[in-house]
Structure 1
Amino acid sequence: MSAIPPVTLEHIRRVPKVLLHDHLDGSLRPETVAELADATGYRGLPTTDVGELGRWFREAADSGSLVSYLETFAHTCGVMQTEDALVRVAAECAEDLADDGVVYAEVRYAPELFVERGLTLDAVVEAVQEGFAQGERRAAERGKFIRTGTLLCAMRQHARAQEIAEIAVRYRDTGVVGFDIAGPEAGFPPTRNLDAFEYLRTNNAHFTIHAGEAFGLASIWEAIQHCGAERLGHGVRIVDDIKSDPDGTAHLGPLASYVRDRRIPLEICPSSNVQTGAAASIADHPIGLLARLHFRVTVNTDNRLMSGCTVSSEFAALADAFGYGWADLQWFTINAMKSAFLDFDLRLALINNVIKPGYAPLLA
Structure 2
Amino acid sequence: MTQQPTFDEIRRAPKVLLHDHLDGGLRPQTIIDLARESGYDRLPATEAGALGDWFREAADSGSLERYLETFAHTVGVMQTREALVRVAAECAQDLADDGVVYAEVRYAPELHTSGGLSLDQVVQAVLDGFREGSDGRGIRVNSLLTAMRHQARSMEIAELAVRYRDVGVAGFDIAGAEAGYPPTRHLDAFEYLQRENSHFTIHAGEGFGLPSIWQAIQWCGADRLGHGVRIIDDIQVASDGTAKLGRLAAYVRDKRIPLEMCPTSNLQTGAASSLADHPIGLLRRLYFRVTVNTDNRLMSGTSVSKEFAGLVDAFGYGWDDLQWFTVNAMKSAFLPFDERLAIINGVIKPGFAQLKWQA
In the superposition, the TM-score normalised over structure 2's length comes to 0.98
Matching residue of 1:277? 270
Deviation string, structure 1 residues 221-263 (Cα, Å, up to 9, x no partner):
0000000000000001000000000010000000000000000
Deviation string, structure 1 residues 127-163 (Cα, Å, up to 9, x no partner):
00000000011xx1xxx31001100000000000000
Matching residue of 2:46? 48
CA distance in 2, matches of 1:226, 1:322: 35
Deviation string, structure 1 residues 258-279 (Cα, Å, up to 9, x no partner):
0000000000000000000000
Match of 1:14 among 3, 12, 18: 12
Match of 2:302 among 298, 304, 309: 309
Q: Tell me whether 1:188 sits opposite 2:188 in the alignment.
A: no
Gaps in structure 1 of 5+ consecutive residues = none
Query: AA paired with 1:181?
Result: I
CA distance in 1, matches of 2:142, 2:125: 14
Deviation string, structure 1 residues 31-54 (Cα, Å, up to 9, x no partner):
000110001111110011111000
CA distance in 1, matches of 2:141, 2:261: 19
Matching residue of 2:237? 244
The alpha-carbon distance between structure 1 residues 220 and 268, as it changes in their structure 2 partners (threshold 3 A), is same
3-state SS in 1 of match to 2:12: coil
Gaps in structure 2 of 5+ consecutive residues = none
Query: Any residues of structure 2 matched to 1:1-364 within 5 Å, and which?
Result: 6-137=4-135, 140=136, 144-364=137-357
Identity across matched positions, percent: 72
Query: AA paired with 1:237?
Result: R
RMSD of equivalent CA atoms: 1.0
Aligned 8 A contact 1:186 1:214 in 2: yes
Aligned 8 A contact 1:230 1:265 in 2: yes
Q: Measure how far apart 1:4 and its partner are.
A: 7.3
Q: Measure how far apart 1:361 and its partner are.
A: 2.6
Aligned 8 A contact 1:28 1:93 in 2: yes
Q: Measure how far apart 1:5 and its partner are.
A: 6.4
CA distance in 2, matches of 1:90, 1:361: 31
Q: Measure how far apart 1:211 and its partner are.
A: 0.2
CA distance in 2, matches of 1:79, 1:361: 42
Task: Give the total of aligned pairs.
Answer: 357
Aligned 8 A contact 2:236 2:245 in 1: yes
In the superposition, the TM-score normalised over structure 1's length comes to 0.97
